[in-house]
A and B are shown apart, each in its own frame.
Chain A
């Protein structure tokens, strides 16, 4: 059977790619998608450990419940974040995050 390390390694790689996306992309929509990718990698770790500890009846589905909560928070975050991006676009006519430097002294 597959080792737990393979799943954890895959989640780590996906998380790092998401972090890299947040750092290098200037399109704020793609930055947002990278954040979703990182949340997804965290969810994969939760489900992997839920499987890993599935023999223990006290914590058999705790990891999966947490995945639900992460999904809910992600949905709420996307709704508010995209509303913010739409508002910024209406005011400044761009979503390039390098252009959003009004607070810079």
Chain B
């Protein structure tokens, strides 16, 4: 058993356990913190797959920006926990469906790729920031520009949705 396999098993156990913890925690803040742990382990998987830049953007974008936004909204609303959640009667049918999804996805995805071990070297030539940026600004220039419009629209939408209506102003 190689060292990398041991690391994979331990990290995979942490990832699955934190995902299940997010699912079962009653308090939304705990769920968010479990999700941060899950994102961190996935970032380490990206490192193991030889994509350091993706791993670091995972940490900054998901672990940083998105989860801070989540925690901020949870604490802003003060609605962390909902009473009488997760009763067995309601969980049973979705659980069966999720297991069916799991088995089907395993059958379809896993072992269909002509089983192969990943290449031995841990760095990909195209995974460093320079080649990534090159193809982002040449091959994928149009999607990149459309992405900026998407972000602008999302920003304007978020502001408009949460804007306070002024009371007593006749239009």
Contacts and interface: CB of A to CB of B under 8 A. Distances in A.
Contacts of A86: 73, 76-77, 161-162
A60 B123 CA distance: 12
B77 A95 contact: yes
A37 B35 contact: yes
Nearest to B81: A27
A105 B120 CA distance: 60
Contacts, number: 244
Interface in B29-46: 31-32, 35, 38-39, 42, 45-46
Interface residues of B, number: 86
Contacts of B120: 1
Given A15-B105, A61-B135, A80-B158, A44 B73 contact: no
Given A14-B15, A16-B105, A17-B20, A1 B4 contact: yes
A89 B118 CA distance: 48
Contacts of A24: 23, 86, 90-91, 94-95
A98 to B, nearest CB: 9
Interface residues of A, dominant DSSP: helix
B119 A55 contact: yes
A89 B159 CA distance: 16
A82 interface: yes
19 contacts: A3-B115, A7-B45, A16-B101, A21-B22, A24-B90, A26-B82, A29-B74, A37-B22, A40-B42, A44-B42, A47-B45, A48-B49, A69-B143, A71-B57, A71-B58, A71-B62, A75-B65, A76-B151, A86-B73
